[in-house]
Amino acid sequence: MAQRALSVARRWAHAPAALRIAVVYLLARLATTLLLIGAAAQSTSLSRFGPDPGLADFVLGWDAQWYWLVAENGYPAELPRTESGEVAENAWAFMPVFAYAAKGIGFLFGSWGVGAFLLSFVAGYLACLALHRLLRERIGRSAALWSVAFFAAGPLAAMFQVGYAESLFLLLLFLALDAVARRRYAWLYAIVPVMAFTRPGILAFALYLGLHGILRWIRRRDDPLAAREIVHIVALGALSTACGFAWQLIAGVVTGDPGAYLATELAWRRHWVAGGVEHFVPFEGWVQASQFWFGQWGMPQAWGPVVLVLLVVAAGAALLYAPPVRAIGADLRLWSASYLLYLLAVFFPQSSTFRLLLPLSPLWGAVAVPRSRWWRLGVLSLCLGGQWAWIHHVYALGNTFWQVP
């Protein structure tokens, strides 16, 4: 028996990385499927999905409906209005790449939902491959594989099986980060525009490229910086910035309203801020939300901004000084800092906060650095427990705006 186990372990160790990642990913998808089936069994008439929903209902649930609407009807030339005359929630908040790619795949099967599921599922596996490639030379192959396991089975792993753009965006992001790390900047001219129109976040990548360029300039004696690389970094930073604002320009041209996109995004904030928000002000969302949530929790609202500042300081300290985080390399820490700063500038933290943290997934590498098997198994157990809590909350019980994934 021991010999057989040893033989299996040796075969596993010598199996191609793509095969081992496929096994990990498929086991994670099986676990997610079982949890979704459990959520379907607990869904009632009070849930958004009603009693006894099928897995296909979950694939098409929540924001997947918006992507489907984009694929079928495109974007409105005139912004819809509420009865009070404010801009209503509409399709301009959702980027086109995932919606139309799912439509193209779904055309082969006669169903947009099938196309969306297959796109998310396959992109999720490819993202696992890209994450492993991104981390393996930094923290070792074993820790990189554990990072993939945490990523594939994490609390938000249902995103790999529903009609959301997250899987595709993460694949593009990991490829882009890997291209920067390997100094293959030319690939980014193809990746950046697609990433920009898949999901918001490309402005964070523009900031990251700027910080990456500064770091390379500082280290140019130890890491020579050729003139052509300077040109690439500057040009790609400009391209990322232009792409980051392009959707706002497109929405303004099509609707005739220069503020169409921002007004659309702020429409969702009316659920959380009494009286809504008239204008977008960078960083205001987190201050408002900290006061809102502390009020909801029965604590003084003035504490909210103070705790927010402490959290920002703690996150910055972790990125700078925590040994496991330092192990993943300066570039990935710069990306994490850039994305967190971007979220602070543009986001209003609410029920989607955890989903919007998915681009920080390279930090799973820091979690996987400790070599204790019990530590890694414990983290994996917490991932699965968190996944059930999230699925149960947004699919079995979900029926209102504060339960949107």
Alpha carbon distance, N-terminus to C-terminus of the chain: 45
3 state SS of 194: helix
Query: In tens digits, what is the pLDDT along the chain, a chain of 405 residues?
Result: 666 666 666 777 778 999 999 999 999 999 999 999 999 999 888 888 888 899 999 999 999 999 999 999 999 999 999 888 889 999 999 999 999 999 999 999 999 999 999 999 999 999 999 999 999 999 999 999 999 999 999 999 999 999 999 999 999 999 999 999 999 999 999 999 999 999 999 999 999 999 999 999 999 999 899 999 999 999 999 999 999 999 999 999 999 999 999 999 988 887 777 666 777 788 888 887 777 777 777 777 777 777 777 888 888 888 878 899 999 999 999 999 999 999 999 988 887 889 999 999 999 999 999 888 999 999 999 999 999 999 999 999 888 766 777
Please enumerate in sequence order all residues whose Cβ is within 8 A of that of 332, keeping only pairs 6 or more positions apart, or say none: 134, 138, 177, 362, 363, 365
| Domain assignment of residue 74, given as a range | 21-403
Tokens 């947009």, residue located? 112
| Domain membership flag for residue 1 | no
| Domain membership flag for residue 12 | no
Q: Report the domain count for the chain.
A: 1
Q: Which amino acid does the sequence have at 159?
A: M
| Domain membership flag for residue 80 | yes
| Domain membership flag for residue 4 | no
| Domain membership flag for residue 8 | no
| Domain membership flag for residue 33 | yes
**222 phi, psi to nearest 5 deg:** -90, -25
**249 phi, psi to nearest 5 deg:** -65, -45
| Domain membership flag for residue 339 | yes
Q: Which of 129, 136, 142 is nearest to 373 (CA)?
A: 142
pTM assigned to the model: 0.94
Q: Which amino acid does the sequence have at 352?
A: S
Alpha-carbon distance 91 to 67, whole Å?
8
3 state SS of 87: strand
| Domain membership flag for residue 316 | yes
**87 phi, psi to nearest 5 deg:** -65, 130
3 state SS of 81: strand
The sign of the dihedral angle between the CA atoms of 401, 283, 306, 360 is positive
